[in-house]
């Protein structure tokens, strides 16, 4: 079943006893990527285990953690932007490395080369046999690292204190890599696409930096990095007049809900002052994105620095995209700015 309206997407996400996240337990079909860490982490759990784990993780991963990481995010963003030119690929030179460095700092991993290798191996493994050796190697190295990392670095010490086992910390780290990297990278890219296309919005943003936060929310609404998610029905029932069976996969589209005209006036317009903006891009209910604050902070840092450095209107050149089963992935783009001020 495919759910698209804001009200019904919200209902599925907030009715976790009927719409379970536990695919292994409730899915009526075969799961080809059963050993992906995400299927053994809190995002694939229901209460009471989900509540317990989320409480433990939230104790280590707080708004204070994000504040403590912010100077490192600012320094990394500045360093990357110093080297960015209109000839550079914005993704390889900025949108990819910034969230990766943030996650490495969050987990206290000092060697970024190792971290890049683990992240690539873990985030690209979805059951294909040829990718398994690299995936297993990465999980083994990550486990060893997280077992031995000094207690002062990143959130790992706090997770240990909360009582998480090393395996639980490894599954959580895998989840943070999978949920936290690609999504933030995509949001940075989508922000550039939106602001290059909407010159007056970019000009207004320069006049009034207070719009940075509502601009980011509007990019999240119009181009959500995670356009959908799924749940599995724990019993048969009805939703929006349609019946579903027990164990049925219910796909919810946040991308569609975010453009529901019943909730958003001018749903396809890019309104950087939109208020309220109850988009569902970070989900809703008990699985609401644990990294929303961190993602918003990174993009705020990035956008603020980019506004100061890249004057005039922005244009996007050499855009390379690829169709994926859930939308369009942007593979490359150059961000070109002009020395003249826009008005």
- Cβ(313)–Cβ(255) under 8 Å? no
Which one of 43, 171, 190, 258 is in contact with ligand HEM (CB under 6 A)? 43
Which one of 54, 76, 221, 334 is in contact with ligand HEM (CB under 6 A)? 54
| Span 222-241, contacts to ligand HEM by CB under 6 A | 225-226, 229
**Counting contacts by CB under 6 A, is residue 101 touching ligand HEM?**
no
**Counting contacts by CB under 6 A, is residue 154 touching ligand HEM?**
no
**Residue 6 or residue 336: which is nearer to ligand HEM going by CB?**
6
- Cβ(37)–Cβ(139) under 8 Å? yes
CA gap 197, 280 in Å, rounded: 23
**Counting contacts by CB under 6 A, is residue 162 touching ligand HEM?**
no
**Counting contacts by CB under 6 A, is residue 119 touching ligand HEM?**
no
Give rounded-to-5 percent helix, strand, coil for the chain: 55, 15, 35
- In the three-class reduction of DSSP (H, G, I as helix; E, B as strand; rest coil), residue 308 is classed as helix
| Sole residue written with tokens 């990095």 | 225
**Residue 29 or residue 200: which is nearer to ligand HEM going by CB?**
29
**Residue 14 or residue 315: which is nearer to ligand HEM going by CB?**
14
User: How large is the angle between the packed helices 212-222 and 166-197, nearest 10 degrees?
Assistant: 100
Q: How far is the CB of 339 from ligand HEM (least distance, A)?
A: 31
CA gap 22, 42 in Å, rounded: 9
**Counting contacts by CB under 6 A, is residue 105 touching ligand HEM?**
no
Strands 2-3 and 249-253: parallel
**Counting contacts by CB under 6 A, is residue 42 touching ligand HEM?**
yes
Which one of 77, 156, 187, 196 is in contact with ligand HEM (CB under 6 A)? 187
Q: Which residues contact 7 (CB under 8 A, 6 or more apart)?
A: 260, 262
- Cβ(37)–Cβ(175) under 8 Å? yes
Which one of 176, 263, 330, 336 is in contact with ligand HEM (CB under 6 A)? 176
**Counting contacts by CB under 6 A, is residue 175 touching ligand HEM?**
yes
Other beta carbons less than 10 A from residue 121's beta carbon:
21
- Cβ(187)–Cβ(295) under 8 Å? yes
Contact mark string toward ligand HEM, 273..292, x via CB under 6 A: --------xxx---x-xxx-
Q: How far is the CB of 207 from ligand HEM (least distance, A)?
A: 26
Residues that bind ligand HEM (CB under 6 A): 13, 42-43, 54, 103, 175-176, 179-180, 183-184, 187, 225-226, 229, 281-283, 287, 289-291, 294-295
């Amino acid at each position: 079943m495919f759910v698209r309206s804001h009200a019904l997407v919200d209902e599925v996400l907030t009715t976790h006893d009927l719409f379970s996240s536990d695919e292994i337990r409730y899915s009526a079909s075969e799961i080809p990527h059963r050993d992906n860490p995400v299927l053994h982490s809190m995002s694939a759990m229901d209460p009471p285990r989900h509540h317990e784990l989320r409480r433990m993780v939230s104790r280590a991963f707080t708004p204070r953690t994000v504040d403590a990481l912010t100077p490192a995010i600012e320094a990394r963003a500045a360093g990357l932007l110093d080297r960015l030119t209109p000839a550079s690929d914005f993704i390889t030179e900025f949108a990819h490395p910034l969230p990766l460095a943030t996650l490495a700092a969050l987990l206290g991993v000092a060697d970024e080369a190792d971290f890049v290798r683990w992240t690539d191996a873990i985030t690209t493994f979805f059951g294909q046999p040829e990718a398994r050796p690299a995936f297993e190697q990465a999980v083994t190295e990550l486990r060893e690292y997280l077992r031995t990392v000094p207690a002062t670095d990143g959130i790992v010490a706090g997770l240990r204190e909360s009582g998480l086992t090393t395996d639980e910390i490894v599954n959580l780290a895998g989840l943070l890599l999978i949920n936290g990297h690609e999504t933030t990278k995509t949001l940075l890219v989508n922000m550039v696409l939106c602001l290059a296309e909407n010159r007056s919005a970019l000009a207004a943003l320069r006049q009034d930096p207070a719009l940075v936060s509502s601009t980011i929310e509007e990019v999240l609404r119009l181009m959500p990095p995670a356009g959908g998610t799924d749940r599995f029905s724990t019993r048969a029932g009805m939703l929006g007049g349609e019946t579903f069976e027990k164990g049925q996969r219910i796909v919810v589209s946040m991308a569609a809900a975010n453009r529901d005209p019943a909730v958003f006036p001018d749903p396809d317009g890019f309104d950087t002052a939109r208020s309220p903006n109850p988009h569902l891009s970070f989900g809703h209910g008990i699985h609401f994105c644990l990294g929303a604050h961190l993602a918003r902070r990174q993009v705020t840092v990035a956008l603020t620095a980019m506004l100061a450095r890249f004057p005039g209107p922005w244009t996007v050149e050499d855009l390379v995209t690829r169709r994926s089963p859930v939308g369009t992935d942007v593979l490359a783009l150059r961000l070109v700015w002009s020395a003249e001020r826009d008005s």
